[in-house]
Structure 1
Amino acid sequence: MHGRLPCPEPRPEPVLNRCALETAFRPGLAALLVGGLAACTALAPQRADAPATARVETPVETPDLAMPALFAAVQQVPLFDDQKTFADARPLRDPADIEADFLALRDAPDFQLATFVRANFDVPAQVATSQVKVGRTLEAHIDGLWPQLTRIDPAPLPYDSRLTLPHAYVVPGGRFREMYYWDSYFTMLGLVESGQRDRARDMVANFAALIDAYGHIPNGARSYYLSRSQPPYFSHMVELEARIEGDTVYRRYLPQLRREHAFWMQGASSLAPGQASRRVVRLDDGSVLNRYWDDRDTPRPEAWLHDVRTAASVPERPPTEVFRELRAGAESGWDYSSRWLGDGNTLGTIRTTAFVPVDLNSLMHHLEATIAFACRKAAQPDCVREFDERASQRAAAIEKHLWNTDGFYADYDWQRRQISTKVTAASLYPLFVGIASQQRAKLTAVTVRTQLLQPGGLLTTTLRTGQQWDASNAWAPLQWVAVEGLHRYGEDALAKHVATNFLGEVQRVFDDQHKLVEKYDATGEAHGGGGEYPLQDGFGWTNGVVRALLVRYPQSP
C-alpha cells in the first residue's frame, strides 16, 4: 500500500515458452487460466449456493482481464519476485493493443518478455525504508512517518489499476501502495492522536467516495480489488470522526452507511433457510448472518501464481472453487488462517465461504446500530425501527450460534452445522462491539488469558500452520480490538497486560531494527512471518495502534 514502490529488477531475459503452463500445472488448469481468461468478463460464475440474480458487474477492467495472455505469461515465469508488482504496473498505451502485439510477437525466436514489459509498462519502483533519527522516541518516529506514508493522487492516468481518490490518504507501506479498507481505521486512530485530524477526516471522505462510485468499499483502491471488500469498519470510522466533530457526521454519512449495509446484505430477502447467496447466509432457524465472499473465481491478480499453485495442489477440487475460497479469505483480511482451512493446516483445503465469522457479524451489528443512531439524528423513525430490529436480531443470532460452550465466541460452519472449536483473537469481537453478556465476556477473558496471551501480545490463533494469520504472529488491529473489548467489560488488568506486552515487543523490534513492521511474533522469540510475501515495514496500522496505545498506557515502554 505505498506510492511508487519496491519492484525487484526483472529476472534475466526469459524467452517465453508457450507450453510452460501446461508443464507447470495440472492438465486443464492452464487452458482455464490462459485460454479461458481471454474470454472472461468481470462476471464470475456463481456457486450453487448463490442464485444467478446475485451477480454483480465489476465496473473497472482489471489487468488480468484486459491482457489475459500477457498477464498469465508474466506471472507464471515469474518475471518479478512479487506478484503484486505487475498487477500494479501501468500500461503506457491501450492494453488491448499491448495484448495484440504480445500475441503477434511471442513466437519469434528472439522475443524477450522482460524487454517487452519494460517497453510497454510503467513498473512501480522500490521505496527506501525510512531511517530512524538518533534519539527519537517511538511516538516521535510514528509522527514523522505519517508524511512519508501520505499520498495525494494525481489526475487519473490512462489504464492505471489505481482507483483515484479525491483527498489525501495514508498507505500502509512496503508493497502496499494504495489505501486499504480495514487497515485505514487503525491508521486513523494514530492520526487522531498525532494531531492529524484533518487527514483522518479526509480518509473517511475517501471511503464515502468509493461507496458512491462503486456501491461498496473495495479491499483496496485498485481495480483488481473491486470484486471484494474487507471487514466493514466504515461505521467505526464515522463514529471516530463524530467523536471529534459531533453528531452531524452521522447525518452526513447516513446514505453511505446504508449503501454499505445494502452491499453486504444483497440477496438476503430471497433466501430460504439453509441457503446462502454472496455474502449472506440464512440459517435453519431463519437467522440471517453474513460470510465473506468474492464475486470472481479466478486467481487473484496480485497473487496469481500462489493461487494457481494452490489449486494445482488439490486436483480433486475444481480450480474455480479454490480460487473463490482464496479470494473470500482475502476479503476476510485474515489471508490466510487455520480459521478457513478444512483440515486446519493445508491451504488447498480452504473453505472460507462455509463459515459465518464472528468478527464479520459483530462488525455488521455495529453497522446496523450506527445506522439506527444516524437515522435517529436525522429524524427518520421508520429507519430507526428497522435498524434497531436488525441489530437486535443479529445480536441474538450471534449469541445463539457463535458461542462455543467451552467458553469463547467462534465461527459457525453453516454447511456442516457446527461451531468451530478453534480459539482465535476474533473471539473478542462481540466484546469490542458490546453485544456479549457480562458472563460470556468474563469466560472469554479467561480463555484469552490462558490460551492466547503471550509475552509479545495476543496470539492470532493457537495453531502454527505457516500462514501469517496463525500462531505465533501478533497483529496490531487484533491487539486494539482485544484491549477495547476487555476494557468495555471491566477486564482492565487483562487489557493492560495485552497492550503492554505488545508495546514491549514493538519497542524491542524498534530498538533492534529501527522500524515498525506489519506483524510481530507474540512469543518474543522471533519476528513476524509466514504467508505469501516477506515481512513489510512502514507500517500504517501498527503505527496507528501503537500511537493510540501509548496514549492510553503512557508508562509503557
Structure 2
Amino acid sequence: MMRPQQQTALRLAIGGILLGITAFSYAEEPSGTRKQAPDILFGPLFNDVQTAKLFPDQKTFADAVPKNDPQTILADYHMQRKQSGFDLRHFVEVNFTLPTEKEKYVPPAGQSLRAHIDGLWPVLTRTTSSAGKWDSLLPLPKPYVVPGGRFREIYYWDSYFTMLGLAESGHWDKVASMVDNFAYELDSWGHIPNGNRSYYLSRSQPPFFALMVELLATHDKEALKKYRPQMEKEYAYWMEGVDALQPGQASQRVVKLDDGAVLNRYWDDRDTPRPESWLDDINTAKKYPSRPATEIYRDLRSAAASGWDFSSRWMDDPQQLGTIRTTSIVPVDLTALMFKMEKLLAKASQEGGDSAAASRYEGLASDRQKAMERYLWNDKEGWYADYDLKTKQVRNQLTAAALFPLYVKAASQERADKTASAAEAQLLKAGGISTTTVNSGQQWDAPNGWAPLQWVATEGLQNYGQDKVAMDVTWRFLTNVQHTYDREQKLVEKYDVSTTGTGGGGGEYPLQDGFGWTNGVTLKMLDMVCPQANPCDKVPATRPAANEGSVTTTPSTTGAQPAANGTSTTGDQPAATSTPSTTNPSTTTTTPPATTDQPAANDETETQKSVGQQ
C-alpha cells in the first residue's frame, strides 16, 4: 500500500503529465504572464463537465474558481473518475467554487424609468482589483459597470453605450475609471479583450476605445493626448501583419485586397470551441462533417468578436449556423470604426504637437474611406453592406450595420440619403430599428432590436439631416423600452421591435436584464425627446416633432472629414456628395499602415494566406 507521501507524489506526477498533455493539445496562445483559459488548464476535465451538461448555462463552469492548482485537480480527477460510483457533479463542487447569482435587485415600487436607471448604476458596479491565480477573471485596477444578468464581467463594446448613460447621469468618475481600465488592458495585453476573462483574451470586440476617449474629452480636455499611446496600441493590434501581406492576402484581423486597399475583419486567435459555449459549438460543428471543425470554431469565435453572435449576416444559409464564415467577410461597421479611430488618432496627434503623425493618420483615414466607398457600397441596392472576400463582391443583405458610415460621418450626402431611405423602408418597425430583415432564430436578426444599433442609427441619421427618421427611431425604441418597463419593471438586453413592450428572443441563452447598454442609450434618448429646461423621467405622452427637444448630441472632436472622393471638407461635416464609381475599382495601392509588431518576412503562418482560401 502506498504511503500518503507516495500518493501525493503520484498525484502530482500524473497531474503534471496531464497538464503537459493538456497544454500541448489545447494551447494556441503564448505562455508567460497571460492567464490561460479554463479549457486549456483543465483539458479533459473541462470537456467532460461541459459535454455532460451539468449546468444549464455553459458559462457557469467557465467562470468557476478552482480551489487548488490545476495539476492537483487533474491528478485527482484521473484517479477518481474510473472508480465505481464516481459523481462528476460532486467532484466539481468539491474542487471548484461555482459562481453565485447576486441577490435579485428589487427596485422601489413606483420608480420612474429615469430613477430606475440611476438606481441601477451602483447595483451594476463591480470592483475586482485582484483575482485568484487560476480564476478566469482578469482583475482590473478600477471599478467598472457590468451589463447585468449572466454577464458578470466588463464587456468591451457594451461599455461605450453604458458610458453614454453614466455621462448623462453625471458619473464622469465612472466613465474615467472604465477608460483607465481599458487603457490598462491595452498596456497589459496589447488589445482590449472581449471581456475581462481569460477565455476572452484570444479576441477583441468592435473597437470603441477611441470613441470612449472622445466622450471623456468632452469633460477632460486632455483625454485625447493622455490616451493617445493606448489608442495607438489598439490600432497596431488591428493592423498587425499588414506589412507582410501581398494583395489578395489576409492575416489575422487585416486584409489586403487585390488593388492593395487595406481593410479589416473580425478574428479570434484560437480555433477551438468557446469555453463559455463549449457544447453548443461542438454540436454545431458535428452537423457539418464536410467542413473542418476548427474552421467552424474560428468563425463562431470571430462572430463573437464582432458582437453580433449570431446573425444571418455571417452565414451562407440563414437557418444553418454551421454555414457561418465570419472570417471571409469585411464588415462595414468595423470599417467605419477603424476610420473613426484613424480620425481620432489624427486629432490626438495634432493636439500633442505631432503634425507628421496627424498627417499620416489623416491619409490612412482617407485611404480607408475610399476603399469603403469602393468595396462596401452596394450601388444596385442603394445601401452600405459587407464585402465578401470569397466571391469578391459586395453582399446584398441590408442590416443595421449599414448606418455605421453615417454614424462616423464617412458617407457622402447622396449615399447617406439612400441608406436612410432603405433603413426607414425595411428596418424601421413599430419598436425601433430591426437588426436585419431576416428571421433566422438568431438573436442578431429580425425581429430583435438592440440599444447600440438604435443609437448608431439615431446619431447617423441626424448627422445627415435626416431628423424626422432619427426621431422616429428614437421615439419608437423609447416607447418599446417604456412599455416593457411598465409591465416588468426592468430594462432588458434586446427588444422585439415588431411590436412594443416585448423583450427579444433567440440565441444561446435566456433574455438578460439589467441592462448596461440599454440603460445608457435610454437615458440619452430621454434627453433628446425632452427639452433641456424640462427633462423627463419617462417617455412623454406625445411624440415631439423632429426639431423639438434636445437633439444636439455630444460634439465630435474628430476635426475635418475627407470627402468620398478623397478631398477634404472643413470642420466636422459629413463627406461631400461626390462618390467614386463602384463599377471600375481604382488600382491605386493604399499606403500600408505602420505597425509595432510585425512578423518576420518569411514567417508565413496559417493565418496569412490567399483571401480566397480563408
Cα drift, residue 344 of structure 1: 2.8
Bigger mean CA offset, 335-344 vs 423-432? 335-344
Identify the residue that residue 124 of structure 1 maps to in structure 2.
99
CA distance in 1, matches of 2:104, 2:257: 48
Which letter does structure 2 place at the counterpart of 1:544?
Answer: G
Which letter does structure 2 place at the counterpart of 1:441?
Answer: A
Identify the residue that residue 270 of structure 2 maps to in structure 1.
296
Identify the residue that residue 313 of structure 2 maps to in structure 1.
339
Which letter does structure 2 place at the counterpart of 1:462?
Answer: T
Q: Does residue 146 of the first structure (1) align with residue 121 of the second (2)?
A: yes
Pick from 527, 531, 534 the counterpart of residue 551 of structure 1: 527
Q: Secondary structure at the match of 1:244?
A: coil
CA distance in 2, matches of 1:128, 1:389: 52
Pairing of 1:328-477 with structure 2 (within 5 A): 328-405=302-379, 406-477=381-452
Which letter does structure 2 place at the counterpart of 1:415?
Answer: K
Pick from 40, 58, 69 the counterpart of residue 25 of structure 2: 40
Cα drift, residue 414 of structure 1: 1.3
Q: Secondary structure at the match of 1:289?
A: strand
Q: Secondary structure at the match of 2:148?
A: coil
Q: Conserved in 2, the CA contact under 8 Å of 1:43 and 1:56? A: no
Q: Secondary structure at the match of 2:438?
A: coil
Cα drift, residue 38 of structure 1: 5.5
Pick from 238, 250, 261 the counterpart of residue 213 of structure 2: 238
Q: Conserved in 1, the CA contact under 8 Å of 2:26 and 2:39? A: no
Bigger mean CA offset, 147-156 vs 447-456? 147-156
Cα drift, residue 56 of structure 1: 10
Cα drift, residue 157 of structure 1: 2.0
Q: Conserved in 1, the CA contact under 8 Å of 2:492 and 2:503? A: no
- The list of structure 1 runs, each at least 4 consecutive aligned residues, that deviate by more than 3 angstroms after superposition, is 34-38, 55-58
Identify the residue that residue 484 of structure 1 maps to in structure 2.
459
Identify the residue that residue 499 of structure 2 maps to in structure 1.
524
Q: Secondary structure at the match of 1:131?
A: coil
Deviations 1:459-491 (A, max 9, x none): 000000000000000000000000000011110
Identify the residue that residue 538 of structure 1 maps to in structure 2.
514
Cα drift, residue 57 of structure 1: 8.6
Bigger mean CA offset, 497-506 vs 147-156? 147-156
Which letter does structure 2 place at the counterpart of 1:293?
Answer: W
Q: Secondary structure at the match of 1:281?
A: strand
Q: Conserved in 1, the CA contact under 8 Å of 2:129 and 2:141? A: no
CA distance in 1, matches of 2:33, 2:516: 28
Cα drift, residue 345 of structure 1: 2.6
Which letter does structure 2 place at the counterpart of 1:509?
Answer: T
Cα drift, residue 37 of structure 1: 5.2
Deviations 1:121-149 (A, max 9, x none): 11001234322322211000000000000
Cα drift, residue 164 of structure 1: 0.3
CA distance in 2, matches of 1:378, 1:345: 50
Q: Does residue 306 of the first structure (1) align with residue 280 of the second (2)?
A: yes
Q: Which runs of 5+ in 2 are unaligned?
A: 1-18, 531-535, 541-614
Residue 159 to residue 35, structure 1, CA distance change in 2 (3 Å): closer
Which letter does structure 2 place at the counterpart of 1:486?
Answer: L
Deviations 1:174-206 (A, max 9, x none): 000000100000000000111111001100000
Q: Conserved in 1, the CA contact under 8 Å of 2:336 and 2:408? A: yes
Pick from 36, 49, 53 the counterpart of residue 78 of structure 1: 53
Cα drift, residue 245 of structure 1: 1.1
Deviations 1:35-83 (A, max 9, x none): 9856335327xxxxxxxxxx99992211000000110011001110000
Q: Which has the larger radius of gyration?
A: 2
CA distance in 1, matches of 2:199, 2:207: 19
Pick from 252, 257, 264 the counterpart of residue 278 of structure 1: 252
Identify the residue that residue 158 of structure 2 maps to in structure 1.
183
Q: Conserved in 2, the CA contact under 8 Å of 1:165 and 1:206? A: yes
Which letter does structure 1 place at the counterpart of 2:260?
Answer: G
Which letter does structure 2 place at the counterpart of 1:414?
Answer: L
Cα drift, residue 235 of structure 1: 0.5
Q: Secondary structure at the match of 2:219?
A: helix
Pairing of 1:89-128 with structure 2 (within 5 A): 89-128=64-103
Q: Conserved in 2, the CA contact under 8 Å of 1:42 and 1:58? A: no
Which letter does structure 1 place at the counterpart of 2:270?
Answer: R
Question: Root-mean-square deviation (CA), in Å?
Answer: 1.6
Q: Conserved in 2, the CA contact under 8 Å of 1:182 and 1:232? A: yes
Work out the percentage of aligned pairs sharing the same amino acid: 54
Pairing of 1:153-302 with structure 2 (within 5 A): 153-246=128-221, 248-302=222-276
Cα drift, residue 407 of structure 1: 1.0
CA distance in 2, matches of 1:365, 1:58: 33
Q: Conserved in 2, the CA contact under 8 Å of 1:473 and 1:528? A: yes
Q: Conserved in 1, the CA contact under 8 Å of 2:255 and 2:264? A: yes
Q: Secondary structure at the match of 2:522?
A: helix
Residue 56 to residue 444, structure 1, CA distance change in 2 (3 Å): farther
Total equivalences in the alignment: 513
Q: Secondary structure at the match of 1:245?
A: coil
Q: Conserved in 1, the CA contact under 8 Å of 2:66 and 2:135? A: yes
Q: Secondary structure at the match of 2:134?
A: coil
